[in-house]
Amino acid sequence: MSTSGEVLLSQYMAQIRHDVDLALAEVATYSEGCPQVLGDAIRHILLAPGKRLRPMLVLMASDACGERSNVTMASACAVEMIHTYSLIHDDLPAMDDDELRRGRPAVHVAYGEANAILAGDALLAQAFEVITRCEAAAELIVRCLQELTAAAGPCQLVGGQVDDLQAENRVGTAEQLQKIHERKTGAMFRVSLRLGAIAANATNEQIARLDTYGKHLGLAFQIVDDLLDEQGDMQQLGKQTGKDTAQGKLTYPALLGIQESQQLAADLIRQACEQLEPFSETAEPLRQLAYFVLQRNN
């Protein structure tokens, strides 16, 4: 990509971030009934500087398929809200016991454990509400809800998290690790792309290709996440590092070593990008995002 292309892409990504941040701020403005502490706890983490990768994937998938619709931004907000709920709960003492998230004290540190659990619960429920409030055909809304509930449910996000916790301090294989991450991390990546495509009235072939792109991207993202936990900088990451080894987690660097893990992540990114070949220039942001995921340092 030329330098001017890179500038255009970074402007495009900055615009997406800006639009998503505005939409999230609106979603997290509550009227009567929502206690102040709950709204504050939600905004503390939802509006903190996360990378917004999943909402970016939704918008980029719609763009790759030719159009954004009402459902695009609602889905972008919904996936970020579910992701954020999962981060709040993952940081709790009963799970990963992390004190720093997105450069801020974790929600349970700032607002107490009960409020953190409840802020997560509220975000999960509200994510679905955001989709139902879209001005769109009822069939489309139901389809999006089916996609999202399945990705966030017991066989995907939550199931992956349970298996991840159970794998602590146990010997595991690369196959077991892949199965965990396909659900814990990959499911939310895939559903982001699927929702973006569905919102754009994509063909089944386009949805399937973006889904496979998301599967490879999600796994590569997780491998890089494991590598950053070992080698990354806590300041840049905005969260604690070195925790995986301390907690006896099953990770890619522990199983395969650093070099092989890096190679695997690079191979996955190449395979992800192969899926984008039939798309035109409109999929260029997805190509670039894949390389960003590989090279990221936060």
Interface residues with ligand GRG (CB under 6 A) are: 50-51, 53, 83, 86-87, 89-90, 102, 157-158, 161, 184-185, 222, 225
Beta carbon nearer to ligand GRG, 86 or 206? 86
Q: In the complex, what is the shortest distance from the CB of residue 146 to ligand GRG, in angstroms, rounded to a whole number?
A: 19
Q: In the complex, what is the shortest distance from the CB of residue 101 to ligand GRG, in angstroms, rounded to a whole number?
A: 7
Residue that has been written with the tokens 């792309």 in this structure: 193
Please give the residue whose beta carbon sits closest to ligand GRG in the complex: 50
Beta carbon nearer to ligand GRG, 46 or 202? 46
Beta carbon nearer to ligand GRG, 80 or 279? 80
Residues 6 or more apart whose Cβ sits within 8 Å of residue 218: 181, 182, 185, 186, 187, 188, 189, 190
Beta carbon nearer to ligand GRG, 126 or 206? 126
Q: In the complex, what is the shortest distance from the CB of residue 161 to ligand GRG, in angstroms, rounded to a whole number?
A: 4
Q: In the complex, what is the shortest distance from the CB of residue 250 to ligand GRG, in angstroms, rounded to a whole number?
A: 12
Residue 205 corresponds to which tokens in the numbers above? 């072939």
Q: In the complex, what is the shortest distance from the CB of residue 172 to ligand GRG, in angstroms, rounded to a whole number?
A: 16
Q: In the complex, what is the shortest distance from the CB of residue 98 to ligand GRG, in angstroms, rounded to a whole number?
A: 8
Beta carbon nearer to ligand GRG, 11 or 298? 298
Beta carbon nearer to ligand GRG, 56 or 134? 56
Q: In the complex, what is the shortest distance from the CB of residue 90 to ligand GRG, in angstroms, rounded to a whole number?
A: 4
Beta carbon nearer to ligand GRG, 183 or 287? 183
DSSP the chain: --HHHHHHHHHHHHHHHHHHHHHHHHHT---TTS-HHHHHHHHHHHTS----HHHHHHHHHHHHTT---HHHHHHHHHHHHHHHHHHHHHTSTTTT--SEETTEE-HHHHH-HHHHHHHHHHHHHHHHHHHHTSSS-HHHHHHHHHHHHHHHSTTTHHHHHHHHHHTTTS---HHHHHHHHIIIIIHHHHHHHHHHHHHTT--HHHHHHHHHHHHHHHHHHHHHHHHHHHH--HHHHTS--SHHHHTT---HHHHH-HHHHHHHHHHHHHHHHHTTTTS-GGGHHHHHHHHHHHH---
